[in-house]
Structure 1
Amino acid sequence: MSAAVAAAAAAAAARVSSNRSSHHRSNQAVNHRRMPFYPPSPQPALLVPVFSRYESLKRRDWNAFEQYLNKHRPNLRLSQCSGLHVLEFLEDRFGNTKFHTQNCPFLVNRPEPQSPCSCSCPLKEAWSSLDGLVGRLRVAFEENGGRPEMNPFSAPVVRLYLREVKEAEAMGRGIAL
């Protein structure tokens, strides 16, 4: 009888160890599939700000205007800037819109849009580009400490210049305003 009890005990022990090992293997598989837990870092992560397209353009344009101020001779501070300085900055920009003169044969007989225009009429910045640029700089001026009533980008001479560019562009396309 003791042999029979010993055999039964051995069989039960084998079953328990078999169950434990299979349970242990399934836990290992589950644990292996889980993502490891990492405690939060004690140092804050450095985040690079993501700017909208408008904000990026505004920053780029403001940096270009600040470079203009730094290179201007005699030295020019932002508080000394006038509408005439803004016009000088705008005139320095090289555009890719052709402004046909009144004597240009392409003023009336324009070639197809795909074919290049071989006239020597000047290339200038388009009115829409200038208008957007002035608008962004007007906002950037006030964001960088300028007072709205002293904003050179809102000067009447700048608005007049933009109107003249718009009219010249329309005439260059053969459109009477």
Structure 2
Amino acid sequence: MMISSDRTKDLIEGSSRSVVDQQQSTAPLSRYESQKRRDWNTFGQYLKNKRPPVSVSQCNCSHVLEFLQYLDQFGKTRVHSQGCVFFGQPEPPAPCSCPLRQAWGSLDALIGRLRAAYEEHGGSPETNPFGRGTIRVYLREVRETQAKARGIIYKKNKKRKKKKTQIIEDVAAPIEDSSNPTVMQSS
């Protein structure tokens, strides 16, 4: 069995790398981690190909928005324009020439992975361009536009806070029912 020269050198010199570090570098990545790495590399390549090139440390939310718009050309989701006869129909009966776009859910997941990757690569949460409000607003607009075009309505579920007295009543009700013999049914 041949040991790599770097590993041999580390063993001879008493490297400070732990066995855990070595195992992590050889362990296969999860599907999420693989996708996150692929997304991060794609975004980095996109920035390098810009004229002039932009480093990740110089990137801001406008670069992220441009990247999301660039990705639209590779989308597979038909988004009907307002002039289309199928606008607002969840299942159109025939094909149309409306553009294919990235689905909102795909963009949302992509931003989540890039946001995590940015921080894993040394960026601080405060300067993370993927976590900016501008990006959240853009994603919300994409979701609403696609929902209208496909005739889907997203309802916001608002959680109502219960008052303390209501919580006490909710907890006490089953106790009172079990102690009341008229409520209990015979088997």
Give ranges in structure 1 of 5+ residues lacking alignment. Answer: 1-40
Shift of the alpha carbon at 1:111?
A: 3.2
Shift of the alpha carbon at 1:101?
A: 1.4
Question: Normalising by structure 1, what TM-score?
Answer: 0.68
Can you list the C-alpha shifts for 1:47-69, whole angstroms capped at 9, x where unaligned?
Answer: 74301010010000000011011
Give ranges in structure 2 of 5+ residues lacking alignment. Answer: 8-21, 155-187
User: For residues 104 and 78 of structure 1, what CA distance do their matches in structure 2 show?
Assistant: 40
Alignment of 1:11-90 (within 5 A): 43=3, 48-90=26-68
Residue aligning to 2:92: 111
Question: What SS does the corresponding residue of 2:42 show, helix, strand or coil?
Answer: helix
Q: Is the 8 A contact 2:43 2:67 kept in 1?
A: yes
Shift of the alpha carbon at 1:74?
A: 1.2
Q: Which aligned runs of 4 or more in structure 1 are off by greater than 2 angstroms?
A: 41-49, 107-112
CA radius of gyration, larger in:
1
Could you tell me which amino acid in structure 2 is paired with residue 100 of structure 1?
Answer: H
More contact order relative to length (CA 8 Å, sep ≥ 6): 1
How many residues are paired up? Answer: 133
Question: Normalising by structure 2, what TM-score?
Answer: 0.65
Can you list the C-alpha shifts for 1:64-89, whole angstroms capped at 9, x where unaligned?
Answer: 01101111111211121110100101
Shift of the alpha carbon at 1:176?
A: 4.5
Seq. identity, %: 53
Q: Tell me whether 1:156 sits opposite 2:133 in the alignment.
A: yes
Residue aligning to 2:183: none
